[in-house]
Structure 1
Amino acid sequence: MFKYNYNAIKVKEVEGRYVTNKEIERFLKSLTPVFQVSTIGESVQGRSIKAITLGSGETRILLWSQMHGNESTTTKAVLDLVNLLKGDSELASVILENCTLKIIPILNPDGAMAYTRVNANSIDLNRDAQERTQPESVVLREVFNEFKPDFCFNLHDQRTIFNVGNTSKLATVSFLAPANDPARSISSNREVAMRLIVAMNKALQRLIPGQVGRYDDSFNSNCVGDAFQMQGVPTILFESGHFPEDYQREQTRYYIFISLIEAIEVISNKKIEHFEMDSYFEIPENNKLFLDIIIDNIDQLNSKFSKGDSAGILYVETLVGGKIEFRPKLEKVGDLSELYGHKMYNCLDINDLEEIQKSPSLLNVLK
């Protein structure tokens, strides 16, 4: 397991959910010329798209984050990765000698600023891999063509609704080796991606047992991961999910950091063949069985609801004054016994009822 002091490695000036070019600028400026920071293009609104290139090895790894502007956990994790590689550890030396990394911390800086999934033209960049109608999509494909990566890491966040299989375990981290054809056949490059995911899963099971999921592998050539897999490059989708009480995704950030280190170390040391592809299919698929809050017997709170009804609430992440607020929204009402809540209340319990009554936002949702 990771033997370094993460608290000393973590880039503490970049925390929380709202991460833009401004938030990462100070860190990028702190990098020495050995870690080349370059502007590789501009967004729709003219914001710079930056890349960090480091290492001198023959194996080339391309990583990009915040393709969806409101998915910032992996951006924080890649900054931590770079911070580790700035040090003089044996691990850093091995990686930088054997690999060359090109990291795009924020591919969609307009979406990051507005805290939206889409870019400034309301286009989902992860559905623009073929037509490449957007400048950000063009930038990523140009980097792919020029850098000629041996591996691609496609870094994302997923919502709090995901669990592992049919269990009550949170999908704190999920992976996918994207399909490269409609039949979802296993090409040699997809097999390599599967083996790397097995390596990462093995490391994570020691830290968050049962909390690693496998993302749906439906084929869509317009998705970037599928498109790059079609080009014969082993590509991995990383999805940062929820950890109990971790709505700022600082704990999940750590698990993504561990995943990145594990994968890159395995690549550096040429140990991919040590991991069995078949174990990839033993990772349970994601399911969507979680709500942020479930309140049972809400008829005790408001008589407009039927006897025994439960209320299921999801938070809406809302940008307010440069910070993200989590505003409750009523999602489901009825029998929710097959679902799980990150927070559970029962209005038959006087303590729970009193706690709900002290929350104006919850009371407003349940009017």
Structure 2
Amino acid sequence: MDLEQLFEQNKEQSLHGRYITLDAIEPLLNRLNTNHELRIIGKSVLDKPIYKYQIGTGKIKIFLWSQMHGNEGTTTKALFDFLNLLHSGSELANQFLAEFTFCCLPMLNPDGAKLHTRANANNVDLNRDSQDLTQPESKVLRATFEDFKPDFCYNLHDQRTIFGVADTGKPATVSFLAPAFNEAREINPSRLKAINIIAGMNAVLQQYIPGQVGRFDDSFNINCIGDTFQYLGVPTILFEAGHFQGDYLREETRKYIFMALITSFKIISENDIVVSKLDDYLSISQNKVVFYDFICKNIKINYDGIEIITSFALQYKEELIDDSICFTAYIAKIGELDNYFGHFEFDGKGAFYSDNFNNIPKLDQKADFYIENNIKFVNGSMIL
């Protein structure tokens, strides 16, 4: 099976970039609603509809939800790519529809999506509300879980560009986790099923992004929805869509999420989850905060009359301006950076730093500066 070709055939062309809102997906849901698969099952804080899309007639029940955090739309794009596949009429689509029933909440947090924020309109992180259920969106998710009674749960997220695969210097383009179900982080049969699926997805993704798959920290927190569902006995998999080299719009990453979804369903279909692959799972290196978007090394500054050589790092902030996401680079760290990597790195080789202010980099300052007065950087990018 050619997964790349499958992705290109089913990619939802209308969804692109980092800003994925309810306005963008509602027409797609209505288009895909060919046999009454679509229902409004609740409302957000700001009274926006929360949709459930259910398709398939199979005995194996798969529950997927995306954009629990409103600014994490990469997996939403991949989810619609997958839904397009299910409507393709292909042999694979027919197989999946016969073997599975898919229940999808493609945008749990439409208010956060509109504002491009992690939290909902009440400034609550829905992924810390699985026990108290204080928010309408949390209640919708839990009610759907209890009504649908899934065999597997897919918790779909994005992660920031700061994450790398251990200390390898490679970005964590895709990361997974089989959440713990107790404080001791033990392995029971339910968690082992999730572990085995992740091991299989990793084996396939290594063919496309070698060394760029990470394993998320499994510290137990019952307030997190994945931990709660695992605690309740349902194998749960956390997906984290991360950074691929140069792919700030996450268009490459969505492809690998799509590939992982397809692979996971093939694994379940073939019942390739009965033999323990715990060692393979544990061999996936853990996520680690080791990246900045840009590192400028070995630049000279005049600090209180003394010339010193230092380094500094920049990080992009995603800022919503006129319904568009702008990546604005700010100085995030100054000084020792030996244990960090940059998605882009520049060696100043002792050249002088200057800017329009004090000619020394300052934290939280916008990244517009010169190196030796002849190399200009605007918003963290070199202007040739």
Q: TM-score, with normalisation over the residues of structure 1? A: 0.94
Q: Quote how far apart the aligned CAs of 1:65 are.
A: 0.4
Q: 8 Å contact 2:206–2:213 — kept in the other structure?
A: yes
1:295 is paired with a residue of what secondary structure? strand
User: Quick check: which one's strand share is greater?
Assistant: 2
Task: Give the stretch that moved more between structures: 193-202 or 259-268.
Answer: 259-268
Match of 2:162 in 1: 161
Cα distance between partner residues in 1 of 2:143 and 2:158: 24
Q: 8 Å contact 1:346–1:353 — kept in the other structure?
A: no
Match of 2:253 in 1: 252
Question: What's the CA shift string for 1:173-193, capped at 9, x where partnerless?
Answer: 000000000000111100000
Match of 2:235 in 1: 234
Match of 1:16 in 2: 17
Match of 2:107 in 1: 106
Which segments of 5 or more consecutive residues in structure 2 lack a partner in the other structure? 352-369
Q: 8 Å contact 1:37–1:50 — kept in the other structure?
A: yes
Cα distance between partner residues in 2 of 1:7 and 1:209: 21
Question: What's the CA shift string for 1:294-314, capped at 9, x where partnerless?
Answer: 0112325x6579622101111
Q: Quote how far apart the aligned CAs of 1:32 are.
A: 4.0
Q: Quote how far apart the aligned CAs of 1:269 are.
A: 2.7
Match of 1:132 in 2: 133
Q: 8 Å contact 1:155–1:239 — kept in the other structure?
A: yes
2:300 is paired with a residue of what secondary structure? helix
Q: 8 Å contact 2:299–2:350 — kept in the other structure?
A: no
Please report the RMSD computed on the Cα atoms of aligned residues, expressed in angstroms: 1.9
Gap change, CA 1:353 and 1:151, over 3 Å in 2:
same
Gap change, CA 1:362 and 1:262, over 3 Å in 2:
closer
Q: 8 Å contact 1:2–1:258 — kept in the other structure?
A: no
Cα distance between partner residues in 2 of 1:185 and 1:356: 58
Letter in structure 2 aligned against 1:341: G
Matches within 5 A, 1:254-293: 254-273=255-274, 276-293=277-294
Task: Give the stretch that moved more between structures: 166-175 or 218-227.
Answer: 166-175
Cα distance between partner residues in 2 of 1:355 and 1:208: 39
Q: 8 Å contact 1:198–1:275 — kept in the other structure?
A: no
Q: 8 Å contact 1:10–1:83 — kept in the other structure?
A: yes
2:342 is paired with a residue of what secondary structure? strand
Cα distance between partner residues in 2 of 1:119 and 1:107: 10
Report the structure number with the largest CA radius of gyration: 2
Match of 1:27 in 2: 28
Q: TM-score, with normalisation over the residues of structure 2? A: 0.90
Match of 1:90 in 2: 91
Letter in structure 2 aligned against 1:313: L
1:297 is paired with a residue of what secondary structure? strand
Which segments of 5 or more consecutive residues in structure 1 lack a partner in the other structure? none
| Percent of aligned pairs with the same amino acid | 48
Gap change, CA 1:306 and 1:175, over 3 Å in 2:
farther
Q: 8 Å contact 1:94–1:268 — kept in the other structure?
A: no
Gap change, CA 1:12 and 1:235, over 3 Å in 2:
same
Q: Quote how far apart the aligned CAs of 1:94 are.
A: 1.0
Number of residues of Structure 1 aligned to a counterpart in Structure 2? 361
Match of 1:2 in 2: 2
